[in-house]
Amino acid sequence: MTKLCDYGCGREATHPFKNGKWCCEDHFRKCPAERKRKSKIMKELWKNGIRDPNEQSKFMKQLWKIDDYKKRNSENIKKAMSTSEYRKRASKVQKRTIEKIKKYHSFFCQIEEIKEGPKFGTFFVHCHNHNCLKSKEKNGWFVPTGREIELRMICLEHPGGNDAGYFYCSPECKQKCPSFNLHSDPCKNKEKPYTDTEYQVWRKEVLKRDNYKCVGYDGHYCDKPAEHAHHIHPVKTHPGLALDPDNGISLCVECHKYIHRAGIECSYGRIAAKIC
């Protein structure tokens, strides 16, 4: 069986090269297919005003390098995708497991309860609508999509996250939930139980009591310089404790953001659910 030229001219190959290819001539540039290709490129160079031989040779070398890279890359991809074993292996590597989630998304696991689903790579979570049979209050579970899990992780763990992307088992539950599409504070019409001057006095008292150091959260001790004073019980639900120094803790900026992003009772969505 005759071997054809690897450069596309269709003639019989007679000369092997070091790169593993065969050609009909002793040099690949003498091949008719390569000569036609070179002539087309030279015409374009002359049209664009590139007539210096040195510049033309540089341009030609760059084109040949790019074409060789594309051919090699496409061949490797075809070989890899042609095997079913590679596809199975790639799908297993990309899918998440409970161990990976607990290792790389510990903050997400603190907020959301999650367990393995019926198939590999699927998980059970609670519906955020507390009236739903699949909610945490009713001890129910459902299987979300991978995109829903990823979105919830971003909303919780990204620096610009806003504690959104809750899990809902259906569009009906999403529309009925008081936390969905909540753009404002449900208690914003109520007046604050203190003035700005009173708040500054309370803030200074809390910082002074903690020696201007961050006390951390949930057993986590930060010990950084504190800049914010945080209400343990929110002002919206406990207005009588708004100016009580015992209801305040000193926090740094990062710990204060963490507590508010953690979705505890001081967030708007949690308060709306409590009011409901």
Residue 43 has pLDDT above 70, yes or no: yes
| Cα–Cα distance, 80 to 110 (Å, whole number) | 39
The number of C-alpha atoms within 13 Å of 170 and in the hemisphere containing its C-beta is 8
- What is the residue whose two structure tokens read 């160079």? 45
For 212: left if phi > 0, alpha if psi spans -120 to 50, otherwise beta; the answer is: left
| Cα–Cα distance, 5 to 1 (Å, whole number) | 13
When the pLDDT of each residue in the chain is averaged and rounded to a whole number, the result is 77
Return the higher-pLDDT residue of 52 and 125: 125
Bridge partners (DSSP) listed for residue 142: 125
Residue 78 has pLDDT above 60, yes or no: no
Dihedral sign computed on CA atoms, order 98, 100, 106, 111: negative
Question: Residue type for 144, please?
Answer: P
| Cα–Cα distance, 69 to 140 (Å, whole number) | 54
Residue 267 has pLDDT above 70, yes or no: no
Task: Please name the helix (run of DSSP H) or strand (run of DSSP E) that holds residue 258, with its range, or none.
Answer: helix 253-261
Backbone angles phi, psi at 249, to 5 degrees: -135, 150
pLDDT band for 187, please (50, 70, 90 cuts). low
Q: Label residue 20 exposed, middle or buried (CB < 10 Å: 0-12, 13-18, 19+).
A: exposed
What is the mean pLDDT of the segment spanning 148-173?
83
Buried b (16+ CB within 10 A) or exposed e, 49-75: eeeeeeeeeebbeeebeeeeeeeeeee
Residue 83 has pLDDT above 70, yes or no: no
Structure-derived torsion over alpha carbons of residues 60, 66, 67, 69, reported in degrees to the nearest 10:
140
Strands 228-231 and 248-251: antiparallel
Indicate the angle between helix axes 84-94 and 53-82, nearest 10 degrees: 90
Residue 85 is predicted with a pLDDT of 54
Residue 184 is predicted with a pLDDT of 53
Residues in the chain: 276
What is the mean pLDDT of the segment spanning 17-30?
84
Residue 270 is predicted with a pLDDT of 46
Buried b (16+ CB within 10 A) or exposed e, 125-138: bbbbbbebebbeee
What is the mean pLDDT of the segment spanning 224-233?
88
Residue 96 has pLDDT above 60, yes or no: yes
